[in-house]
Structure 1
Amino acid sequence: MKQLLTFIILITSVFAVKAQDSTAQAPAAKWEYTAEKKGEQEYILHLKGTIEKGWKLFSTTMKDDDPNTRVTVDSAATITGITEEGELKKAPEPLLDNIEIKYFENQVTLQVAVKLNGPANKLEGAVNYMALKGEEVTGPDEVKFRFNIDASGNIVNVAAGLQESATGGQTLKRAAIDMANPLSNCGGEGAPVKKSLWGIFVLGMLGGFIALVTPCVFPLIPLTVSFFTKKSQDKKTGIKNAVLYGFFILLIYVLLSVPFHLVDSLDPEILNNISTNVWLNLIFFVIFIVFAISFFGYFEITLPSGLASKVDSKSGVGGIIGIFFMALTLALVSFSCTGPILGSLLVGSISTDGGPMQLTAGMAGFGFALALPFALFAMFPNLLKSLPKSGGWLSSVKVVLGFIEIAMAIKFLSNADLVTHWGLVKREVFFAVWIICGFLIVLYLLGKIRFPHDSPLKKISTTRWVFAAIFLAITIYLLPGVTNTKYANRKLISGFPPPLNYSIYKGAGGVEANVVNDYEAALKLAKEQNKPILIDFTGWACVNCRKMEENVWPDERVKTLIEGDYILVSLYVDDRKLLPEDQQFLFTTNTGRKKEIKSIGDKYATMQTENFAINAQPYYVLISPDEKLLTKPVAYTPNAAEYESWLKCGLEAFKKNK
């Protein structure tokens, strides 16, 4: 449960930051900076703060444990003293348990004496201030400053933080690209093909059915159904209550997706940012490993008794409210088994080609599968006799799920590894982990491996033989994935492992981009070779991008067209590598929102949304070297012949344009 709470806190923090970026209030103080030279490598920084009406800005003399204002400088210098100019006031503050606060109103100037630690051509730092207005406390808010130092030791202030850049803005909003007037009318309609909601719903149901046969849920089915049928005055009432119970189970899981609809309206890129967030993926990796160890029987994950008791006590209220809390109790007590399955569904739906509706569909499928048995067995109680008895087989299911959890965990670690370029989980390492997990499952099902809660296996049942054969077949299919052969491309699982070119083998991979993450270089190359450009808006953690690269691009006809007639530039919208400092800037989007362009991903995700009003990947655009749109862009196109036709159409449009 602690892991779940950590995850919720992380998600809430991400949402809060994004919401703050979108609807940020006016700062409590505005700052101006000047500086003067006092001696050899010694300077006085004058940091003047104009405080908004009604705000109290805390003094630098407040203790570290109390609200305060602090000034920091980089390693180039050391602060030797700070004095404050302004009317310093003191008063007890009821909001802070009547401690005496020291503060300024209207205006304050901080005189900061600094000494350089050695030769330097710049000095950077920040004011981190806190302020109070009524019952509202803000901060610490960071306001950066920067000073340049010339060869003679003179110091002058320059703009700090990210600034608007006309040149930078032009690199994102390409004036020559006209989405309304492509040279040829072939191609898509400019909107990516979303995952089928019904397909997501079915996948969610599959996850729900898996959750049903876990020790946390399965034993509850006959107990709960018997409770409704025996407690109700008549059979009709029992059926009605059981169906209502199932409906509330479905509703609870659907409600979990509602916050994602709210945050998606704040920032169209937020779901992609969450799914490719390094820390979120690492947390999921750790959570899944912890769940796996728990499934192996080395410890038990349980809810805090107080929380479970409070929710369960409400279930005795009776009526509709009592039934709702019974459903909520089921969702909570079964979390140790359903949590990992829900985690996979969550991150799988919140992806570069997913979204809130996909998540809702998946959650609905999951809740429907969990709810179905309770309603079904309440209508037909005799079917309960056909249910297998609870026993050791449930523990076996848990162990198999534990190995699957490890396989899923490596996927989250791989996502973090790809967007940061650590090189920890190369494609072959990924396959090796999955292959080892597969063989261990087979050995476990055949009784060669035992865990703490397992009893000796006297006889291998037919069911075990069947599942052992299935997992052995899957594992054998995965084996070529660790080789450097033409069979290394395992098409049935395209998108799950890292890309073909993210390999321990040099030269491995399919169709290679001429340019990666450098649009201007691609334009230059296209002009030099007089070829059109194929823009590939992609992502390191994009499943459908990998499917295109491994299933469609290697098609001989498609490969010949891309490599012979186009300049292919791949732009990764989730690349977290920071741009050089002089290339970072503040950009005003076409919706009026201020957005910081700090990383490669920021740059090309914004370029895609600004020019094509689309933020899903993969997304393919054909343009001429002078940036004329040759065709309508297309998204995920799994049919190689269709993709080939689109490439040919773009080539014909380019030749006519010449």
Structure 2
Amino acid sequence: MISFFRPCDKLVILYSKNIKFLFYLDKCIKIPPIIFNKRLNLIRNIFLFILTICFLNAEPVNVNEAFKVSEKANPSGISFDIVIDKSVYLYEDELKVFLGSENITKILNLPESKKHKEYLIYDKNFTLFIPSNLILNNSTITLKFLGCAYDGYCYNPQNLKFNLSKTENGFKISKIKDKKVSNGNENYENKISSDIKNNNFFITIITFFGYGLLLALTPCVFPMIPILSSIIVSKCKNSKNNNKKAFLISFIYVFAMSLAYSIAGILATYFGSSVQGFLQIPWVIILFSLIFIVLAFSMFGFYELQLPASLQSKISKKSESKNGLIGVFIMGFLSALIVGPCVAAPLAGALVYIAQSGNLLLGGSALFIMSFGMGMPLLLIGLGANKFLPKPGYWMNEISKIFGFIMLFMAVWMLSRLISSNLSLLLYGVLGMFFGVSLFPVRKDSATFKKFKFGFSLVVIIYSVILIIGFASGSNSLTNPLNNTFKSQLKENLNFKKVSNLNELKEVVRGSKKPVLIDFWATWCVNCKELDNTLNLAEISEILSNFELIKVDITKNSKDDLELMKEFQIYGPPALIFFKNGKELQEYKVIGDIRKIELAKNLNKILNL
């Protein structure tokens, strides 16, 4: 039941289940009926929205509260009391008891199950008893079960182990605690996935917003800054309220970006594939590069991009404020998927949680809020737009020209996923030469600004020449283009074995006498190229000489690629998986940003295991 107040109620209570709002009105409030009804409707809708969110995101009970297991030993045998919360149930066919390696479930006296949908379940407390005649020697008892909540949430499979030993008075039983390996770069995505499960909705949302703020400082967001800036410049040329419109554009762009990350993440876990991977196929990248080139020449003033006059008039009649904002939304949505595909530990953690629990609502909300946190720098650009947006006149032309070149650099950056890093240096160098020349001072510039422009253009031209020299010498590094001209700290490429399917990978792992490093890689993955440089550093490659190196190229997102990604719960590159003695070392698995120092430490730890 929900009640709402009238204008002259003294005491007002709004409640629903366990949520209660209390208002005390000291005086009667006289509000004209029309205004009151509008405000009442607004207040009612806001409260209904808040309550709906609260109820939709009600957290299921913790797994330890949902299924309480207590063990007892006596001369006649071992008993397990299993207390099941009223909101959850256990699947009958998933309840298994092992004595050592032998499954003894069928010979035990199990409680009567009941039918729920098409499954048989237990939803009442019961006791499992193992008689002493089954227990011959000291052994281990393993209790396995799987349960779900009635509201649809399913828990991870539970695997409880107990040590059992005979004593003079009967038996002694003790629970075996899970052993966790602690290392400098623990499997963050699993830790984060666990955080979502164990925290309530609002703590999870706040935590993921914080993760998003941290990701805002990574290359995930940087490519979007020039795109959004150029959109703001073009949309606010003739606007009187530049600041308000710029912020609105930024907000819509970030909202679309967040929505894209959420949808892509949910679909990736639901279908077991990377949506971003599908959008990294060559023709999509080439098309987007062409769009940047078209936008660039528009900024140079060769033409003006606008809708036909007839469509413009129709749109303006409906709402002037909406004109062009749909395009901003589409650009933000596509930019997130195509320009900035980025998989980091927080993102991977949310994806692991969604995949394991099936809770799309909480996982999707975490993804959305994290993405919104990532977009905070973009919102700041909108807030400060009034300070950096040029006024009409000569300055406007100069700024538009700069953004035009930024769009061209973005086009080359997109194409660098399809061409060699060496050829990318040539394109950057040639484009940089034209950019530097275009910055030379002109008569209209003030004396101070002439000096600044001359100095800046000189720096751009010199660095562009260095890039071209780097191309000629065979370099691949944009930040260190002369690494092939002088003595480099990079060694020759490491000897990676390439595998194309899961069976082939398993064979290589089984046959290896060394620890195995598996590198998930794609041509469109910018962070993968950074990882390549890290792996080829002298101090890292020296350690890697003791490993069997395997590279898995998931560029095509083929059926075999998807099978490999699903096997290791990877939703995008880069990712490093480690094996030793045929067993996966999950605690050393790394996804996303891989730092040199932590990587070196972990490689040494794996060798010493």
* TM-score, L = length of structure 1: 0.49
Q: Which residue matches 1:265? A: 266
- CA contact 1:435–1:478 (8 Å) conserved in 2: yes
Letter aligned with residue 438 of structure 2: Y
CA distance in 1 between partners of 2:330 and 2:260 (Å): 18
**What displacement does 1:561 show?**
1.6
**Structure 2: gaps of 5 or more residues:** 1-176, 193-210, 348-366, 485-489
Q: Which residue matches 2:60? A: none
Q: Secondary structure at the match of 2:423?
A: helix
Q: Which residue matches 2:230? A: 211
Specify whether residues 463 and 481 from structure 1 end up closer, same or farther in structure 2 by C-alpha distance, changes over 3 A only. Answer: same
User: Of 223, 236, 241, which residue of structure 2 is paired with 1:224?
Assistant: 241
**What displacement does 1:441 show?**
0.7
CA distance in 1 between partners of 2:574 and 2:544 (Å): 16
Q: Which residue matches 2:547? A: 566
Pair 1:444 & 2:445 matched? no
User: Of 548, 554, 564, which residue of structure 1 is paired with 2:531?
Assistant: 548
Q: Which residue matches 1:435? A: 429
**What displacement does 1:649 show?**
1.5
- CA contact 2:256–2:330 (8 Å) conserved in 1: no
**What displacement does 1:358 show?**
6.2
**What displacement does 1:538 show?**
1.9
- CA contact 1:182–1:629 (8 Å) conserved in 2: no
Provide Cα deviations, 1:306-339, integer angstroms capped at 9, x if missing partner: 4433443355xxxxxxxxx53x336479x6xx99
**What displacement does 1:402 show?**
2.6
User: Of 473, 477, 482, which residue of structure 2 is paired with 1:489?
Assistant: 477
Pair 1:644 & 2:600 matched? yes
Matched ranges for 1:83-102 at <5 A:
none
**What displacement does 1:202 show?**
7.3
Q: Which residue matches 2:5? A: none
Letter aligned with residue 526 of structure 2: V
Letter aligned with residue 614 of structure 1: I
Pair 1:607 & 2:564 matched? yes
CA distance in 1 between partners of 2:221 and 2:524 (Å): 23
Deviates more, 1:261-270 or 1:436-445: 261-270
User: Of 485, 491, 494, which residue of structure 2 is paired with 1:511?
Assistant: 494
Q: Which residue matches 1:189? A: 187
Q: Secondary structure at the match of 2:267?
A: coil
- CA contact 1:212–1:218 (8 Å) conserved in 2: no
Provide Cα deviations, 1:131-169, integer angstroms capped at 9, x if missing partner: xxxxxxxxxxxxxxxxxxxxxxxxxxxxxxxxxxxxxxx
- CA contact 2:216–2:376 (8 Å) conserved in 1: no
Provide Cα deviations, 1:544-594, integer angstroms capped at 9, x if missing partner: 2211211x212323211212x111101122235xxxxxxxxxxxxxxxxxx
CA distance in 2 between partners of 1:400 and 1:246 (Å): 19
Specify whether residues 483 and 191 from structure 1 end up closer, same or farther in structure 2 by C-alpha distance, changes over 3 A only. Answer: farther
Specify whether residues 604 and 276 from structure 1 end up closer, same or farther in structure 2 by C-alpha distance, changes over 3 A only. Answer: same
CA distance in 2 between partners of 1:340 and 1:480 (Å): 36
**Structure 1: gaps of 5 or more residues:** 1-179, 226-241, 316-324, 378-385, 418-424, 449-454, 494-499, 502-506, 577-598, 654-658
What fraction of aligned residue pairs are identical, expressed as a percent?
A: 18
Pair 1:462 & 2:451 matched? yes
Q: Secondary structure at the match of 1:568?
A: strand
- CA contact 2:280–2:338 (8 Å) conserved in 1: no
Q: Which residue matches 1:78? A: none
Higher relative contact order (CA 8 A, sep 6+): 1
CA distance in 2 between partners of 1:182 and 1:607 (Å): 27
CA distance in 2 between partners of 1:489 and 1:402 (Å): 25
- CA contact 2:497–2:549 (8 Å) conserved in 1: yes
**What displacement does 1:205 show?**
8.5
Aligned-residue Cα RMSD (Å) equals 4.4
User: Of 553, 557, 560, which residue of structure 1 is paired with 2:539?
Assistant: 557
Q: Secondary structure at the match of 1:267?
A: helix
**What displacement does 1:437 show?**
0.5
**What displacement does 1:435 show?**
0.4
Q: Which residue matches 2:411? A: 409
Aligned residues: 380
Q: Secondary structure at the match of 1:622?
A: strand
Letter aligned with residue 273 of structure 1: G
Letter aligned with residue 378 of structure 2: F
CA distance in 2 between partners of 1:246 and 1:399 (Å): 19
**What displacement does 1:640 show?**
2.1
Specify whether residues 536 and 263 from structure 1 end up closer, same or farther in structure 2 by C-alpha distance, changes over 3 A only. Answer: closer
- CA contact 1:211–1:217 (8 Å) conserved in 2: no
Matched ranges for 1:130-169 at <5 A:
none
Q: Which residue matches 1:86? A: none
Matched ranges for 1:18-33 at <5 A:
none
CA distance in 2 between partners of 1:369 and 1:458 (Å): 27
- CA contact 1:446–1:464 (8 Å) conserved in 2: yes
Matched ranges for 1:37-436 at <5 A:
184-186=181-183, 187-189=185-187, 191=189, 196-199=214-217, 203=222, 206-207=225-226, 210-211=229-230, 214=233, 216-220=235-239, 223-224=240-241, 248-257=248-257, 258-268=259-269, 269-315=273-319, 326=321, 328-329=322-323, 331=325, 347-353=338-344, 360-361=372-373, 363=375, 365-373=377-385, 389-415=391-417, 417=418, 425-436=419-430
Letter aligned with residue 188 of structure 1: E
